[in-house]
Amino acid sequence: MIPRYSRPEMVAIWSPETKFRIWYEIEAHACDAQADLGVIPRENAEAVWKAKDVQFDVARIDEIEAVTKHDVIAFLTHLAEHIGSEEARFVHQGMTSSDVLDTTLNVQLVRAADILLADMDRVLAALKTRAFEHKDTVRIGRSHGIHAEPTTMGLTFARFHAEWPAAASGWNAPARKSRPARSRAPSAHSPTSIRPSRNMSARRWVCAPNRSRRR
């Protein structure tokens, strides 16, 4: 994003720091869900939360990725540096990279959409104010690109106000449909790999997971 044209809150959503924070939360909640099902030891799931206050080092992750050539492995390696390799041994078990990346993108899209929808609410309120403010402000009407009968700016703003909710719903509906991804690693399509993603969704993301179309 170009900083001078971007709002800080929008920049923050798409920053590497936020991305890695969401990756961490997905992995931690996935471990909780698998522990609930008895797939991994409870103590290992709890150990992952030791990093809940950690500021992940983007430069360090980039450094690891230069060696591993894999962004998620680089992040998981950095996470293990904080919580210990033994404690981190079950992190990402039964998952594949797209489970993390696609879900993170959906979370970011919802957060960004919330900012835009809040802006739309302010625009709607401003249109209503202007409609009343200019109810007697005359302007030339238009028809087929030429002058027509006079109308008012108030009526024009009122029409915009009437049309705005439909435009806002075009943002709102897709944002509410953003779901956690669920594809899992190849050859891991067992009930124990599907159920944790459902459990995690219910606990954290408050929506049912989508099946990935990758496979």
- The CATH number for 16's domain is 1.10.275.10
pTM of the model: 0.76
- Host domain of residue 143: 96-182
pLDDT for 14-72, tens place per residue? 999 999 999 999 999 999 999 999 999 999 999 999 999 999 999 999 999 999 999 99
Residue 155 lies in a domain: yes
Query: Is residue 38 located within the same domain as residue 104?
Result: no
Tokens encoding 51: 């990093």
Instruction: Give the β-pairing of 210-211 and 181-182.
Output: parallel
- For residue 117, pLDDT over 50 is answered with yes
Domains contained in the chain, number: 2
What is the pLDDT at residue 177? 63
pLDDT for 65-82, tens place per residue? 999 999 999 999 999 999
**Domain boundary, last residue among 95, 129, 151:** 95
- What beta strand segments (E) does the chain contain? 138-143, 146-152, 181-182, 210-211
Query: Is residue 20 located within the same domain as residue 91?
Result: yes
Residue 200 lies in a domain: no
How far is it, in rounded angstroms, from Cα 200 to Cα 27? Answer: 10
Query: Is residue 57 located within the same domain as residue 130?
Result: no
Residue 204 lies in a domain: no
- For residue 156, pLDDT over 80 is answered with yes
Residue 191 lies in a domain: no
Interacting residues of 198 by C-beta distance below 8 A, sequence separation 6+: 182, 208, 209
- For residue 213, pLDDT over 80 is answered with no
Q: Is 20 exposed, middle or buried (0-12, 13-18, 19+ CB in 10 A)?
A: buried
